[in-house]
Amino acid sequence: MEKNRLEAFSDGVLAIIITIMVLELKVPQGLGASDVAALKPLLPVFLTYVLSFIYLGIYWNNHHHLVKAANKVNAAMMWANLHLLFWLSLFPFVTGWMGENHFTTAPTALYGAVMLMAATAYFILQNIVIAQHGRDSKLAASIGRDLKGKLSPILYAVATATAFFRPWISCCLYVLVALMWLIPDRRIERALD
């Protein structure tokens, strides 16, 4: 029952984050607000929204499998979960900032930095759940070397760095990480069966 409430709260926060992110797509105002041309400046905002939506979908998906695998909710897990939600809650801000400034240096770097922090927070949460099962458990075995989980933070760090001279490389890296994760995390699922 405790687990249910952790899931429900996380689902609530994720659902709200994913939805308020769309508020950055502001309805055009003023002269020419009803022309197709009024949508043009919104295109980068829209593309960033699509990217962040996919990221949050991936987090929700993996979070779902991870929490399902947890034995029990303890204080460490609750705080590790809130820590993850904190970094995810900054997605609408960095999404809006990057989208509205058409992928310039500072916003693109900050986007990567927040992605890096969120990935780190997820990594901590995952380790707490693994520790509950023990290092020799089926769960630990199924997550295994966790290649994707270890590669993502590295790619985010690289993308944050490349933003200072070639922001478009950073954007490609963000899309790459998203594509890499779109294949859902079946490892845990398999181990539990």
Per CB under 8 A, contacts with a copy of itself among 21-80 are 22-25, 27-29, 33-36, 38-39, 50, 53, 57, 60-61, 64, 68, 75, 78-79
What is the number of residues in the chain?
193
Q: Is 190 in the site for a copy of itself (CB under 8 A)?
A: no
Q: Which residues contact 121 (CB under 8 A, 6 or more apart)?
A: 80, 83, 84, 86, 87
Torsion, CA 63, CA 95, CA 170, CA 10, rounded to 10 = -10
97 binding a copy of itself? (CB under 8 A): yes
Instruction: Give the Cα separation of 15 and 98 in Å (integer).
Output: 21
**Count of CB atoms within 10 A of residue 1's CB?**
5
- The answer to the question of residue 5 lying near a copy of itself (CB under 8 A) is yes
Q: Applying CB under 8 A, which residues contact a copy of itself?
A: 1-2, 5, 7-9, 11-20, 22-25, 27-29, 33-36, 38-39, 50, 53, 57, 60-61, 64, 68, 75, 78-79, 82, 85-86, 89-90, 92-93, 96-97, 100-101, 104-107, 110, 182, 184, 186
